Structure 1
Amino acid sequence: MPYYDIYDANIRCGRGAATSGPGTKTATAVAGSEVGFVIGRSADEPLEPYVIYHNGPGMVYLSLSTTPDLSLYEGDGDWFKIAYLGPKNDTYWSTRDQTGMNFTVPFNTPPGRYLLRIEHLYVRPAYNTTQFYVACAQVEVVGQGGGSPGPLVRFPGAYELEDEGIMVKEEMYDWPLSGLLGYKPPGPEVWKG
């Protein structure tokens, strides 16, 4: 279900995610490889396949755990953006009608245990109406490392409601869509590693 409060700790990984960390399995992600998330069922979508049907971008972040036990890390440390899935063209989002989002973990990502955060924004032109769909996974990144990820941000704090990537121009919301190639995503630049 959508989330609206970008100033609340739940914007990190979704509603109540910090309490579900203990007992969650950790996946292995090889730096330089492609990984992804698939869409799950929502209350108003009874039939498969489940797809992204809202118009807007997708973004992916990593946050190195500040605790030895990743399952206890609540994501209150630094985050860096590793992927941005924006418009396919001036009138269509690349995430629209997709069953998930795939992206590459940067090759030089330092090895370690991370929260991997994915979000999809249903962008809207009115104040505090953009919908955030957020989820996290626990991953252990393996590889050669050597990179210095950044710029670093914190959640909450990375976004403001007035950001042009959150409160968009009317033509980016009203059908038929237009001007999508002029969209500027919120948050930091993508770290390519």
Structure 2
Amino acid sequence: MLTTPANELDVFSRFLFNDTVSEQWEYVRNITEGYAADSPTVSDQYMPYYDISDENIRCGRGAATSGPGTKTATVYAGSKVGFVVGRSADEPMEPYVIYHNGPGQTYLSRSPANTTLDSYTGDGEWFKMGSLGAKDDANWLTRGEVGMNFTIPRAVPPGLYLLRVEHLYVRPAWNTTQFYIACAQIDVVGPGGGKPGPTVKFPGAYDLSDPGILVSNRVYEWPLSGLLGYVAPGPTVWTG
């Protein structure tokens, strides 16, 4: 039974490509239940994640092993893709929006074998493909949206990738920033030719003291201010 308002659970279980939104977990790796940090007896699949030093920071709780059975979407380099907020199968799908305050980012990691994604855990190199920060000094681009959209750079080398999305509910206390993470499985088709970088690994890309994770009070407390000075954690965006 859910004990938290549904619109406060920013989980991206649906994938957008070819102008079509998929079913829940059709192309997005499924995640497992987790406990609420402030209510250890409350468990739900849609709880956020906190431990940036754990392998689950790659694609979400349990997602490293949920590749088998997850479909792989064929996407063309240069096209728009996205992640849409969803809910559990026994609840209405609409309307659910990104409720919490914070930025959104997306990364790509190519399967080393490049023959299947089923067994790829995301332990390879990742490069940042997009970042959504401040709309203005008091509002995030993500707030109130049903999801996050990004464009696959045209020069991305073709192949099989995990496409990772994260939304951060940024907070000013140590290790309280919430991560909402998901990974879609995609097959990128295109001319390639690019050399994506810089690359990072998860875990290891972030530190709890990063100013994009441990934020100042004015970035958290309502009314928000100073968002235009926010710097997201991780490497710079590679645009091709």
Quote the RMSD (CA, aligned, Å): 1.2
Tell me the percent identity: 71
Among 20, 27, 42, which residue is 2:73 paired with? 27
Among 35, 40, 61, which residue is 1:15 paired with? 61
- 2:126 paired residue number: 79
Report the AA paired with residue 15 of structure 1.
R
Aligned counterparts of 1:126 and 1:58: Cα–Cα separation in 2: 20
SS in 1 for 2:199: coil
- 1:138 paired residue number: 185
Contact 2:50 2:177 in 1 (8 A): yes
Contact 2:86 2:93 in 1 (8 A): no
Is the counterpart of residue 181 in structure 1 residue 233 in structure 2?
no
- 1:59 paired residue number: 105
Gaps of 5+ in 2: 1-46
Contact 1:31 1:107 in 2 (8 A): yes
Q: Greater relative contact order (Cα 8 A, min sep 6): structure 1 or 2?
A: 1
Contact 1:36 1:102 in 2 (8 A): yes
What is the CA-CA distance between 1:47 and the residue it aligns to? 7.3
- Count matched residues: 191
Deviations 1:44-100 (A, max 9, x none): x97731100000000000000013321110000000000001010000000001000
Contact 1:39 1:50 in 2 (8 A): yes
Contact 1:3 1:132 in 2 (8 A): yes
Contact 1:40 1:50 in 2 (8 A): yes
Gaps of 5+ in 1: none
Contact 1:71 1:138 in 2 (8 A): no
Is the counterpart of residue 150 in structure 1 residue 197 in structure 2?
yes
Question: CA distance change for structure 1 residues 48 and 150 in 2, over 3 Å: closer, same or farther?
Answer: same
Aligned counterparts of 1:153 and 1:10: Cα–Cα separation in 2: 15
Report the AA paired with residue 167 of structure 2.
H
Range moving further from structure 2, 109-118 or 62-71:
62-71
TM-score by length of 1: 0.96
Q: Runs of at least 4 residues of structure 1 off by over 2 A?
A: 45-48
Aligned counterparts of 1:158 and 1:46: Cα–Cα separation in 2: 36
TM-score by length of 2: 0.78
Deviations 1:107-163 (A, max 9, x none): 100000000000000000011000000000000001010000000000000000000
Contact 2:212 2:233 in 1 (8 A): yes
